[in-house]
Each structure stands twice: as C-alpha cells, then as structure tokens.
C-alpha cells in the first residue's frame, strides 16, 4: 500500500525528466517493482515449500508404506532447505520492504523495521546456516546411497516434464532442468576427493543453490496450477515465477562454482590474518 500511494520522482521520457510533470507513485518505478517482486517471490515461494513439506509429513502417516517411505526420504533432504532458505531470503524480503519505505522504513512510524528485527532470529535459532548446510551436503544427499536426492530430482523432473508441454512455460522448464543438473554435478564434484573437509568447506553456497532450485521448482509447480483467467492474483503469481527464473535462478552458477572447484579461500584463511 505504501508503494501504491507514495509519490516521488517523475517518469523518464525520450527527452529525460520533465519537472513540469506531476510526481508518480513509487510503484510505477521499475526498480520498486523489482523489490516488490523479489519480496513476493521469496515469501510465496517459501510458503509453497513449507506447505509441500507439511503434506509430506501427512503422507508419512496416511500413505501406503511405499509412499510413506518416499515422504520420509524427501523430508530428509528438504528439511535443511525448509529451515534455512526461508530464514535467509524472507529476511531479505524484510530488508527490501525497509528499502521501499526509504528513510521511513528505518523508523518506528512503520512496522517493517520491527519485522526485520524479529525475523533476524530465524537464521540463528534454526541451528545456524552452517549446520543446516553441513547436514544437507554432508549427510542428507548421501544417505541411503543418495536415494533421497534422487527422489527429489525425480519429483522436480516430473514437474519439468509437465511444464515443457506448455509453450508459455517450456523455457522455464528447460532452465530448471539444467539447474538441477548443475546441482547434481556440483554434488559429485564436492565429494570427488572423498575428504569431508574439502566437500563441506563451501556447504552454505551449495545449500543456497540447492534451495534456489527447490524454490524454482515450487514456482513452476504453482504456475502449472494457475487458472487460465487473467485475475490479478493469477497474473501476480505468474510474474513472480518469471521474476524468480529471470533474476534469482541464474545466481546458482556462482554459488556452485566454488562448490565444484572445492575452493579453499575461506577454509585456508590463516587465523592471524583476520
């Protein structure tokens, strides 16, 4: 609501800004839309993941023995991501909300600064990011011969195969399929030496990349289920999905590069150099 009502700045035309023109609401600026789309993609993407995990918890108790075991394995892999990804990126959404408010966002005139302070705890009390990342790369993706990881990949590929049949989603499906392959290759490369110290030195970037792939999967699944109407809610989710694939999913390349190369920049830093 603040972005829809706060006037500031003027539109830029071919001749530049015209001071004689009235100010526009900040939501009309592309960069403000970027920040709002980021918040939407983080918040609703995280919610989709949590609801998916909740369904898996139910399936452990209500499904056939085979389905219950699959739900257990899927949860083993997804739990570190469900604990860490929303904690990190929904905090970033809080930070962007402050930015949209400008200087007001830093004051107690609006609640967004309180939201940020409250949410900052999540990255701490969920076991710290490093522990969740080490659990994911050091244990969960390897357990039972990698069966859980293969199950997650299978579920993602199922969504990819459905989405690739839709002309409006085919490019996103291909992007997700390629991203999944990158995670698989990085997992193997991280453990190429068989030395846990080598593999886990960059466990957090691995978890960030894996988390982004999972959230992209959630968004593609959401897009598949959207009704064909042009309602504002459906259009907003479609745009949030497009934003995540265009602006967020490409980030995994940099994260996985240090994982695949087993980069020792951080692990090899001498203590007295800090």
The structure's pTM equals 0.94
* Residue 146 confidence (pLDDT) above 70: yes
Q: For residues 96 and 146, state if they share a domain.
A: no
Q: For residues 42 and 146, state if they share a domain.
A: no
Q: For residues 166 and 80, state if they share a domain.
A: no
Supply the pLDDT for residue 127: 62
Query: How many folded domains does the chain comprise?
Result: 2
Q: For residues 64 and 113, state if they share a domain.
A: yes
* Residue 126 confidence (pLDDT) above 70: no
Q: What is the mean pLDDT of the chain?
A: 93
Q: For residues 178 and 209, state if they share a domain.
A: yes
Q: Is residue 217 assigned to a domain?
A: yes
Active site residue 126: yes
Domain boundary among 125, 146, 172: 125
Q: Is residue 268 assigned to a domain?
A: no
* Residue 223 confidence (pLDDT) above 90: yes
Q: For residues 176 and 115, state if they share a domain.
A: no
CA atoms 186, 188, 193, 199: torsion sign: positive
Q: Is residue 35 assigned to a domain?
A: yes
- What percentage of the chain carries pLDDT values higher than 90? 78
Domain containing residue 103: 2-9+25-125
Q: Is residue 14 assigned to a domain?
A: no
Q: How far is 178 from 172, CA to CA, in rounded Å?
A: 10
* Domain harbouring 39, CATH code: 1.20.140.10
Q: For residues 51 and 115, state if they share a domain.
A: yes
* Residue 14 confidence (pLDDT) above 80: no
Nearest partner of 5 among 93, 110, 89, judged by Cα? 110
The arithmetic mean of pLDDT across residues 229-246, rounded, is 93
Supply the pLDDT for residue 227: 80
Nearest partner of 211 among 97, 126, 143, judged by Cα? 126
Per-residue pLDDT tens digits for 153-200:
999 999 999 999 999 999 999 999 999 999 999 999 999 999 999 999
Q: For residues 143 and 34, state if they share a domain.
A: no
* Residue 267 confidence (pLDDT) above 70: yes
Q: For residues 114 and 70, state if they share a domain.
A: yes
Q: Which residues of 174-207 are buried (b: 16+ CB within 10 A; e: fewer)?
A: ebbbebbebbeebbebbbeeeeeebbbbbbbbbb
Q: For residues 97 and 140, state if they share a domain.
A: no
The arithmetic mean of pLDDT across residues 224-251, rounded, is 93
The arithmetic mean of pLDDT across residues 110-138, rounded, is 88
Q: For residues 139 and 118, state if they share a domain.
A: no
Of 56-60, 102-106, 178-182, 239-243, the one with minimum mean pLDDT is: 102-106
Domain boundary among 106, 125, 144: 125
Per-residue pLDDT tens digits for 25-82:
888 899 999 999 999 999 999 999 999 999 999 999 998 999 999 999 999 999 999 9
Residue 5 binned pLDDT confidence (cut-offs 50, 70, 90):
confident
Choosing from 28, 76, 126, 271, which is the catalytic residue? 126
Domain boundary among 125, 144, 178: 125
């Amino acid at each position: 609501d603040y972005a829809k009502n706060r006037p500031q700045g003027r539109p830029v035309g071919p001749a530049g800004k015209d001071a004689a023109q009235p100010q526009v609401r900040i939501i009309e600026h592309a960069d403000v839309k970027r920040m709002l789309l980021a918040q939407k993609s983080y918040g609703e993407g995280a919610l989709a993941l949590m609801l998916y995990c909740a369904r898996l918890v139910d399936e452990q108790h209500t499904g056939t023995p085979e389905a219950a075991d699959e739900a257990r394995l899927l949860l083993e892999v997804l739990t570190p991501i469900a604990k860490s990804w929303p904690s990190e990126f929904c905090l970033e959404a809080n930070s962007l909300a402050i930015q949209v408010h400008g200087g007001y966002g830093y004051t107690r005139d609006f609640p967004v600064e309180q939201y940020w302070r409250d949410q900052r705890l999540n990255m701490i009390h969920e076991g710290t990011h490093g522990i969740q990342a080490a659990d994911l790369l050091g244990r969960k993706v390897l357990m039972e011969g990698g069966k859980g990881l293969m199950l997650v990949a299978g579920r993602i590929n199922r969504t990819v195969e459905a989405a690739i049949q839709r002309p409006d989603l085919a490019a996103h499906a291909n992007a997700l399929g390629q991203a999944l392959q990158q995670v698989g290759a990085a997992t193997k490369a991280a453990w190429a030496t068989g030395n846990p110290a080598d593999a886990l030195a960059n466990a957090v970037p691995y978890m960030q990349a894996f988390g982004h792939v999972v959230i992209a999967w959630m968004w593609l699944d959401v897009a598949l289920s959207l009704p064909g109407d042009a309602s504002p809610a459906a259009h907003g989710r479609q745009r949030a999905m497009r934003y995540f694939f265009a602006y967020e999913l490409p980030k995994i390349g940099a994260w996985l590069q240090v994982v695949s190369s087993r980069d020792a920049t951080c692990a090899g830093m001498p203590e007295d150099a800090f």
